[in-house]
Amino acid sequence: MKRTTGGRRTSRALLRDVALVCLADGIVGLSFGATAVAGGLPWWLPVAMSLLVFAGGAQFAAVGVVLAGGSPAAAVAAGAVLNTRLFPYGLAVADVTGPAGPPGSPRGRWWVRLLGAHLVTDESVAFALRGDGPAGRRAGFWTCGAALFAAWNVAVLLGAAVGSAVKNTAAFGLDAAFPAVLLALALPTLADRRTRAAAFAGASAAVALTPFLPAGLPVLAGLGGLAAGWRPRRPGRLRGRLPGRLAGRLPGRRPGRSRRGAAG
């Protein structure tokens, strides 16, 4: 791992921010392991899932579908749709997930690229995108990705142990941790009015459909909310991909731009 630019101050700030994110996600991982095991799944299932899938939202969605009585196929579908966002994420950070060196250098260390791909998450992408310059982006991605992988899996393992010991996890309110994290992750993206309209419509539809659809499908149906927020934008206003806005959640630069500024 290289941390060359930015100097000591930046890298200390980076480590502090990464630690905060790991702590928060650790609590979520704890609640994931505990919820899954207390719900009746074997302890190794959330643990294996965390190692192999390593995507909190999809893991919760899949296990949630199964615990609610949905089929394994519905569980996989819900998790998979949620993870489609990893494709644009991967495009956005493709320059840092592979080995360092000039792009296109033949036969680079292919296993570094394979490993880096597994570390693409909401958090590591956000850290990559707020990094300064190529080295800063690389440092953000790998520091966050590696630390989070360790923290997440240890936390899920601990949670599974807690879930086996404490049967009544609801008393500790652990079931509220997951929606809270999702909400906190989504909030910065809701600064955009169209996205907000789409998200509100989608969430309303998903909640309204929950009594009638098999578990897992209401969230997918929420995608219909996109229609509510969708208008073609003028090309002059193309700024910021989602990861950029996601990065706005983290402490650091976020230039305030007047919304109606230069509209003519």
Partner 1 sequence: MPLLAVAALAAVTYAFRLAGPLLRDRVTVPPAAQRLLSSAAAVLLVSLAATSALTAGHGFAGWARPAGVLAAGVLAARRAPFPVVVVTAAAVTALLRLGGIR
Does 151 help bind partner 1 (rule: CB under 8 A)? no
Amino acid at 255: P
One character per residue 219-248, x = contact with partner 1 (rule: CB under 8 A): x--xx-xx--xx-xx-x--x--xx--x---
Cα–Cα distance for residue pair 29/150, rounded to 1 Å: 11
Does 5 help bind partner 1 (rule: CB under 8 A)? no
Contact of 143 with 128, CB cutoff 8 Å: no
Does 99 help bind partner 1 (rule: CB under 8 A)? no
Which tokens is 216 given? 């897992």
Instruction: For partner 1, give the closer residue by CB, 97 or 143.
Output: 97
Helix axes 7-38, 133-165, angle to 10 degrees: 30
Q: Which residues 175-214 are close enough to bind partner 1 by CB under 8 A?
A: 175-187, 189-190, 194-195, 198-200, 202-207, 210-212
Cα–Cα distance for residue pair 97/112, rounded to 1 Å: 8
Residue 173 C-beta: closest distance to partner 1, Å:
3
Residue 109 C-beta: closest distance to partner 1, Å:
13
Q: Which residues 10-29 are close enough to bind partner 1 by CB under 8 A?
A: 20-21, 23-24, 27-28
Q: What is the DSSP letter of 250?
A: S
Nearest Cα neighbor of 35 from 154, 161, 172, 175 is: 175
Residue 117 C-beta: closest distance to partner 1, Å:
4
